[in-house]
Amino acid sequence: MIHHFWDWDDSIAMSRNALYLSYKKVLEEYDKIIDFEYFNNFIYQDSGIYLSEVCNFSEKEIIKIKKKKEDFYFNFFFNDIRFIWPEYDINEKYYIVSNTNTNLIKKLIKKYDSYHNSNHLEKFQILGTSSNCKEVIKRKPAPDLYINAFDMWINKMNSDDLLHIYEDSPEGLKSAADFAIKYKNKITNLHIHHVKNK
């Protein structure tokens, strides 16, 4: 069996502009003005650091801001997301491994499917963070997401199975590489792919 672990943002969902517009809109409510370059360089990879250490928002405020950001992202800026889906093989398995919360990914795919009369949501098992706004798994480049995903998947694995991992960012590639090193005795047939979507 061949298994595919796909990252979400900038691997399947080209979402950076939609995320920028969502954060920009919600932060304006707090008199915080950001441009795309600042967002791209200092917020995109880990908004939590920006919100807590730069803006000094409390944990409760951060949860509220992230919830509002997700609402804008889903309801107002969905059309700014460009989706690039893999070519599926009915004999292979597909997973999304991401820090983006699981419920939001499901909602986004379901919305896409409803617009396009497609069934991408049926193709994927989504493995990642919990559905609440507070992250409980360390972000990439820590290997924790892949460790967690693999531990959930391991009972479905045979010794000769092949695992492909698809990542766009240096942080994601390091996460996958560190996971591969840590689990080299449990899975030997593993390939990491650098996705370069524009």
Indicate if the pLDDT at residue 92 is higher than 90: yes
Do 54 and 110 belong together in one domain?
Answer: no
Q: Which residues form the domain of 74?
A: 16-79
Same-domain status, 180 and 88? yes
Predicted TM-score (pTM) of this structure: 0.89
Domain boundary residue, one of 46, 79, 112: 79
Tokens representing residue 96 in the block:
């999304």
User: Are 93 and 148 part of one and the same domain?
Assistant: yes
- pLDDT-based confidence at residue 198 (cuts at 50, 70, 90): low
Give the N- to C-terminal CA distance of the chain in Å, as an integer: 30
Question: 4 pairs with which residues across the strands?
Answer: 94, 164
- Name the least confident of 44-48, 70-74, 94-98, 129-133: 129-133
Do 6 and 95 have their domain in common? yes
The pLDDT value recorded for residue 19 is 96
Please state the rounded mean pLDDT for residues 124-135: 63
107 and 178, same domain (yes or no): yes
Confidence band of 133 (pLDDT split at 50, 70, 90): very low
Same domain, 115 and 171: yes
Residue 134: predicted pLDDT: 45
87 shares its domain with 157: yes
> CA–CA separation, 70 vs 81, rounded Å?
13
- Domain match, 91 and 186 both: yes
Quote the pLDDT of residue 138.
84
Number of folded domains that form the chain: 2
Which residue did the predictor score with more confidence, 112 or 128? 112
Per-residue pLDDT reduced to its tens digit, 65-87:
999 999 999 999 999 999 999 99
Pair 134, 89 in one domain: yes
- DSSP string across 111-178: HHHHHHT--HHHHEEEEES-SSSS--SPPTTSTHHHHHHHHHHGGG--TT-EEEEEE-SHHHHHHHHH
Token pair of 23 as six digits: 């954060």
